Amino acid sequence: MLAPNPPIADLVKIAKDELKARYGKEATIVAAAPGRVNLIGEHIDYCDGFVLPFAIERTVVIAAAPNGTTEVRAGTAFTSETACFAVCAPQNKATPKWSNYLRGVIHGFHERGVEVPGFDAFIISSLPGGAGLSSSAALECAVAVLILGLTGNTMPTKEMALLAQKAEHDYAGVPCGIMDQFASAFGKDGELVLIDCQTGEPEMVPFKHDDLTILISNTKVSHELSDGGYAARRKNTEDGLIAIGKGSWRDVSPADLDAAKEKMDEVTYRRSRHVVGEIARTIGAVESLRKGDFQEVGRLMYESHNSLRDDFEVSCPELDQLVETAATLGAAGGVIGARMTGGGFGGSTVTLCEASKAEAIAAAMVKSYEAKFGFPPEIFASRPAEGARRLS
Ligand code: GAF
């Protein structure tokens, strides 16, 4: 029932073989970067909040070699459309759409005075697209690692993540926060990435519980963050903060929110209530994790989901169904907590559960989901994995 995570060695082999077959080149560099899920702290990375994502065992892999020209030529396993563009002109957004992630990252290097040579590349990914698992951040981070390797440069991880985030803003049109690129860049095996989004500093939180795992359930309902829903939520939070009259959400207490209630419309109030509550829940979840109080972590995950569904309105019936099935199984069925993860409007849920019961939990989720929607979700398990890196 649980979909396997393709071994990274298999992805590397395919990428190298394809590079050879298409461009006649042996790879001189192989770069990899993972997607992410967020355990808790949703839609608050752009509100100076705390978020708790981790890099997952699903990855983008790029095999590449310099081609001695001034062009980038790239193919992928996820579409037959190939990209070919002048490396000196990446500022033009163009087709295929996926090539804009490459263009955006190359542009970021140009802005820093790094001259990028022409190269050939083949890109493969074990991340389902449109599943809210940050396949775009993974691609951006993998391209950044690739270019660092090609040019013999180094860059602090934080700067690399910010460069990747800017590519997402400018080339994909998504005004995202820092969570996805930070999770992909800083991820570590067996560790969650607690990000203080006010200071932009990550702190690793160990997650070394062999008896626990996280199920990632892809609704297969695709969301487009650039279609306006995400930007609208961001605007709601900006309006809320202005009405409250504070400079940062970190300085807003529940009492401040209540005092400003009359100055906001009802929607802005509910969006603001989510932000204040989610910042507190994330801090509480980290404290509980450190104490090993998983029951409390689970309770906070359900609360987070309810707030995203009712106050922030970024859930959907498919996500709700997966969370409800997990909640119904409950502790007796091995479930600790569940919630939607990522931007929402479709995408995936995370279910923290006992590893020994993961198969049975996934089977129950598939059964109830398929009965309601007529098609199964895709479910796989992942523990916190290694972040963006050069493989060879
Ligand atoms: C998307 C964004 F890219 C992140 O920055 C974050 O805001 C997330 O939605 C919601 O928590 O993944």
Which CATH number belongs to the domain containing residue 126 in this structure? 3.30.230.10
Side by side, which strands form the sheet with 50-51?
50-51, 191-196, 201-206
Are 29 and 146 within 8 A, CB to CB?
A: yes
Q: What does pTM read for this prediction?
A: 0.97
Specify if 260 maps to a domain.
no
Segments forming the whole domain that contains residue 175? 8-207+386-390
User: pLDDT for 55-92, tens place per residue?
Assistant: 999 999 999 999 999 999 999 999 999 999 999 876 67
pLDDT of residue 359: 98
Calpha distance 371→190 (Å, rounded): 35
Q: State the chain's maximal CA–CA distance in angstroms.
A: 67
Within a domain: 361: no
Query: Quick check: CB of 45 below 6 Å from ligand 1?
Result: yes
**287 in a structural domain:** no
The reply to whether ligand 1 has any atom less than 6 angstroms from the CB of 177 is yes
Which of 33, 134, 39, 137 shows the shortest CA–CA distance to 341? Answer: 39
- Listed in sequence order, the residues at least 6 apart from 193 whose beta carbon sits closer than 8 Å to its beta carbon are 52, 53, 54, 55, 182, 183, 186, 187, 202, 203, 204, 205
Question: Domain total for the chain?
Answer: 1
User: How far apart (Å, rounded) are the C-alpha atoms in residues 32 and 38?
Assistant: 20
179 lines ligand 1 (CB under 6 A): yes
The answer to whether residue 182 is domain-embedded is yes
| pLDDT tens string 161-202 | 999 999 999 999 889 999 999 999 999 999 999 999 999 999
Instruction: Classify residue 285: in a domain, yes or no.
Output: no
The 3-class secondary structure across 9-63, one letter per residue, is HHHHHHHHHHHHHHHCCCCCEEEEEEEEEECCCCCCHHHCCEECEEEEEEEEEEE
Which among 45, 120, 180, 311 is annotated as catalytic?
A: 180
**Interface ipTM above 0.85:** yes
Per-residue pLDDT averaged across 250-273, rounded?
98
Does residue 305 form part of some domain?
no
Residue with tokens 């994330």: 282
Is 257 among the domain residues? no
Q: Are 222 and 163 in contact (CB under 8 A)?
A: no
